[in-house]
């Protein structure tokens, strides 16, 4: 594809979408709270539903909504299917939620899909596993400073535990700047909801129904949404259900929240890159080491994409995100086909017509809004190369929002990340996320005249907890609290 054709692709007309009722949307959907550098996640179990609903009724007025950037602190709240049941949501209403959400993340089928095996098996998780306490509620807390966060957390903990809820865990985070613990810039390529008016190339503008229930998705259809009988909504808090006057829409302006605690073995990652790139005399080659690490990730440490700068890091390209793999690098000679960021967001390289607007539209049906935060102290490269144990005390609390867990999060995990045959590869899996299934433990770098094959890539990311949550709209929160 010529550059002129790519520019035309980036101007592809946006899919018409309904106006978003932002005042009913929890703000985590509309923004990542980048100015609130402190964050913590409070996991709760419902022990007494009556006071728990009273707690929720008091919390509703504090939940951060819409697009306006909060000052000082922010609060959001989400529920597992078990949690909704304990708050009084009946089985027939729960049946209207996505089956993946109702089934949960730790069933045998979901465990296989997500590659949660070996050390990453749910039986070994710190939270959310089948042997641990029930996780019913997730309270997401943010603040500008560490001191503000401490006070915010203490207040919410004391109010919850005095109101029919038990604390399961408090997940802390660490402000390490714009990067992640392996040392690479993170959070660059995010989709933009159509209709919000935010500046972005059309390559990244996605129908709002991919991230909010009640709106058209990339297929022009409204995602399936849970409903309640109109007679049960005595306060008339919920909007009418589509095509059914006798039902009320509990899901509208809500979304599903995927959360996974991932530990990162920074030492294993960098020691592997170092061992694979040593010179003939056995000495380290820092430039070659960084180059291999960048090829595993798909971007340089600054965030500059290999697709646009394959030979060296160019920090001035760190924010560059409007490019297509097929147009610039169809064979993977710049950014390897199996690199992490290429697997998780293939851009214009998907069938049936790679390089076309059709390919881009296919990819938009598998996007995620990512809202995660790192945890644990950073480790510098020297310590990572010499320390015996540099990992497992730091990582990422991965958070993603979507309206179709199966088509978005689970599809990416199983069909792209864990697939040893992704995009024509033979025995590869994601060099960051694919290490626990025993499949595809190698990594291929396409190059001329022959490819370079790296074997026995280590497991550098391990799942330590996780669950599927529902993040309701404000009206649904009031309904769940008892109206």
User: How many Cβ atoms are within 10 Å of 278's Cβ, its own excluded?
Assistant: 13
Q: Is the pLDDT of residue 10 over 70?
A: no
CA dist 358 and 360 (Å) reads: 5
Environment class of 403 (CB within 10 Å of its CB; exposed 0-12, middle 13-18, buried 19+): buried
Task: State phi, psi for 268 to the nearest 5 degrees.
Answer: -60, -40
Q: Is the pLDDT of residue 17 over 70?
A: no
User: How many Cβ atoms are within 10 Å of 67's Cβ, its own excluded?
Assistant: 15
Q: Which pTM was predicted?
A: 0.94
Per-residue pLDDT averaged across 278-294, rounded?
Answer: 97
DSSP reduced 3-state for 56: helix
First to last CA, the chain: 56
Estimate the crossing angle of helix 266-276 against helix 286-297, to 10 degrees. 120
Estimate the crossing angle of helix 49-60 against helix 146-161, to 10 degrees. 140
- pLDDT score, position 300: 97
CA dist 127 and 105 (Å) reads: 12
Handedness of CA 139, 145, 150, 156 (dihedral sign): negative
- Give strand pairing partners of 173: none
Angle at Cα 41 formed by Cα 40 and Cα 47, nearest 5°? 140
Nearest in space to 266 (alpha carbons), one of 469, 467, 30, 462:
462
Nearest in space to 418 (alpha carbons), one of 371, 374, 463, 363:
463
Report residue 1's pLDDT band, with 50, 70 and 90 as the boundaries. Answer: very low
DSSP reduced 3-state for 405: coil
- pLDDT score, position 6: 44
More confident residue, 202 or 318: 318
Residue pair 435/458 in contact by the 8 Å Cβ criterion: yes
Residues counted in the chain: 483
Tens-place pLDDT, residues 357-390: 899 999 999 999 999 999 999 998 888 888 766 6
Low-confidence winner among 101-115, 307-321, 386-400 (lowest mean pLDDT)? 386-400
Q: Is the pLDDT of residue 13 over 60?
A: no
CA dist 140 and 416 (Å) reads: 29
Nearest in space to 52 (alpha carbons), one of 139, 133, 159, 168:
159
Nearest in space to 10 (alpha carbons), one of 318, 307, 320, 322:
322
Looking at the chain, the whole-number percentage of residues with pLDDT higher than 70 is 93
Tens-place pLDDT, residues 304-360: 999 999 999 999 999 899 899 998 899 999 999 999 999 999 999 999 898 888 999
DSSP reduced 3-state for 230: helix
DSSP reduced 3-state for 301: coil
Residue pair 371/401 in contact by the 8 Å Cβ criterion: yes
Task: State phi, psi for 372 to the nearest 5 degrees.
Answer: -75, 165
DSSP reduced 3-state for 206: strand
Report residue 200's pLDDT band, with 50, 70 and 90 as the boundaries. Answer: low
CA contacts within 13 A on the Cβ side of 315: 2
Report residue 259's pLDDT band, with 50, 70 and 90 as the boundaries. Answer: very high
User: How many Cβ atoms are within 10 Å of 235's Cβ, its own excluded?
Assistant: 10
Tens-place pLDDT, residues 126-157: 999 999 999 999 999 999 999 999 999 999 99
Residue pair 153/74 in contact by the 8 Å Cβ criterion: no
CA dist 457 and 440 (Å) reads: 9
């Amino acid at each position: 594809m010529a550059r002129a054709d790519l520019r035309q692709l980036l101007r592809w007309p946006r899919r018409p979408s309904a106006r978003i009722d932002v005042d009913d949307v929890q703000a985590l959907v509309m923004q990542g709270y980048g100015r609130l550098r402190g964050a913590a996640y409070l996991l709760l179990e419902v022990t007494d539903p009556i006071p728990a609903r009273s707690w929720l009724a008091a919390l509703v007025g504090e939940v951060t909504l819409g697009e306006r950037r909060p000052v000082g602190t922010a609060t959001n709240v989400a529920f597992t299917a078990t949690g909704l049941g304990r708050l009084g949501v009946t089985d027939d209403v729960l049946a209207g939620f996505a089956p993946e959400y109702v089934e949960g993340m730790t069933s045998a089928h979901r465990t296989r899909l997500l590659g949660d095996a070996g050390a990453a098996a749910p039986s070994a998780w710190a939270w959310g596993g089948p042997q641990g306490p029930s996780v019913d509620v997730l309270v997401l807390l943010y603040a500008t400073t560490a001191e503000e966060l401490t006070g915010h957390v203490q207040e919410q903990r004391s109010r919850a535990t005095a109101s029919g809820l038990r604390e399961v865990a408090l997940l802390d985070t660490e402000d390490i700047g714009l990067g992640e613990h392996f040392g690479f810039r993170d959070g660059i390529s995010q989709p933009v909801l159509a209709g919000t008016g935010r500046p972005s190339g059309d390559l990244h503008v996605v129908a709002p129904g991919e991230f909010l229930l009640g709106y058209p998705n990339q297929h022009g259809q409204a995602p399936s949404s849970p409903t309640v009988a109109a007679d049960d909504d005595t306060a008339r808090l919920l909007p009418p259900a589509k095509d059914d006057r006798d039902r009320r829409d509990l899901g509208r302006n809500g979304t599903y929240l995927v959360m996974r605690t991932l530990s990162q073995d920074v030492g294993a990652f960098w020691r592997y890159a170092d061992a694979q790139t040593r010179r003939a005399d056995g000495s380290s080659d820092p430039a070659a080491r960084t180059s291999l690490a960048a090829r595993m990730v798909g971007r340089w440490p600054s965030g500059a994409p290999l697709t646009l700068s394959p030979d060296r890091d160019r920090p001035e390209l760190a924010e560059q995100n409007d490019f297509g793999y097929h147009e610039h690098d169809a064979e993977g000679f710049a950014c390897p086909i199996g690199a992490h960021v290429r697997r998780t967001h293939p851009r214009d390289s998907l069938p049936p017509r790679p390089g076309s607007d059709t390919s881009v539209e296919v990819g938009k049906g598998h996007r995620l809004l990512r809202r995660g935060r790192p945890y644990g102290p950073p480790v510098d490269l020297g310590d990572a190369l010499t320390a015996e144990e540099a990992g497992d005390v730091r990582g990422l609390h991965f958070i993603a929002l979507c309206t179709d867990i199966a088509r978005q999060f689970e599809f990416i995990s199983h069909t792209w990340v864990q697939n040893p045959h992704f995009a024509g590869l033979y025995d590869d899996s994601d060099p960051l996320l694919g290490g626990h299934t025993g499949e595809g433990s190698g990594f291929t770098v396409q190059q001329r005249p022959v490819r370079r094959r790296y074997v026995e890539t280590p497991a550098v990311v391990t799942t330590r907890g996780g669950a599927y949550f529902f993040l309701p709209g404000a009206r649904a929160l009031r309904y769940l609290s008892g109206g």
